[in-house]
Amino acid sequence: MNTTQEDQILEAAYTCIAREGYANVSLRQIAQEADVAVSQISYHFKNKEGLLLAVISQAAERYNKLLQENLALSESHAEKGHRLIALFKDALLQERSLFKVIYDSAGLALFSETFRVKMREVFSGIMEQIVQEIEAVAHSDSEAAMISRLVFSLYLGTAIQYLLEPEDPAVLGSLDLLERLFK
């Protein structure tokens, strides 16, 4: 598979931001990681903010696609719940960088309308996936939406705990309690 220069830059930006944080990374560092000229970043993404927005979109698309593929294989709601939680655990264990980028972006969203809009879009997409799995156990659409927010909040809280305390087995173990919602 041939990667485009834009893909190289996105991957390099993702790697650098996950490793050092958005505020600590320069376009020069990203260009060096991607093995391109800084001007190419400006050509493809306009500026550092545009590049981060593209990184966020790409990460969200990957995660949503992974959710859809894994949940489509499930038959029962209990099985879907189990797969949803297992997928989240696997993502935490295998893709810490994803959560670092999400938290860094969410922090920026507190102070930037541009990032706030993008993070709302990303979070809404993830919550919609959760709503689709919870609708069968909820008594109404509004209850499904509220439960999905609760589940998503638990995911985010657990993820930050895991990033701060990866050796604590109780952090990931707490996700097992969520499976009860799907039974």
Give the Cα separation of 139 and 142 in Å (integer).
Answer: 8
Mention every residue, 6+ apart, whose C-beta is less than 8 A from residue 137.
Answer: 77, 147, 181, 182
pLDDT higher for 61 or 52? 52
Mean pLDDT of 116-127: 91
Quick: pLDDT tens for 83-102: 778 888 888 888 888 889 98
Q: Is the pLDDT of residue 133 over 80?
A: no
Quote the pLDDT of residue 35. Answer: 95
Least confident range from 100-109, 134-143, 157-166: namely: 134-143
Give the Cα separation of 97 and 102 in Å (integer).
Answer: 9
DSSP 38-101: HHHHHHHHSSHHHHHHHHHHHHHHHHHHHHHHHHHT--SHHHHHHHHHHHHHHHHHH-HHHHHH
Fold classified for 55-182: Tetracycline Repressor; domain 2 (1.10.357)
Give the Cα separation of 168 and 20 in Å (integer).
Answer: 24
Give 34's pLDDT tier (boundaries 50, 70, 90).
very high
Give the Cα separation of 122 and 111 in Å (integer).
Answer: 17
Write down the domain spans for the chain: 55-182
As a 3-state breakdown, the chain gives helix, strand, coil percent values, each rounded to 5, of: 85, 0, 15
Mean pLDDT of 118-129: 89
Q: Is the pLDDT of residue 55 over 80?
A: yes
pTM: 0.82
Give 16's pLDDT tier (boundaries 50, 70, 90).
very high
Mention every residue, 6+ apart, whose C-beta is less than 8 A from residue 54.
Answer: 10, 13, 45
Quote the pLDDT of residue 161. Answer: 93
Mean pLDDT of 18-31: 95
* Share of residues in the chain with pLDDT > 70 (%): 91
Quote the pLDDT of residue 39. Answer: 95
Quick: pLDDT tens for 73-82: 656 767 777 7
Quote the pLDDT of residue 128. Answer: 85
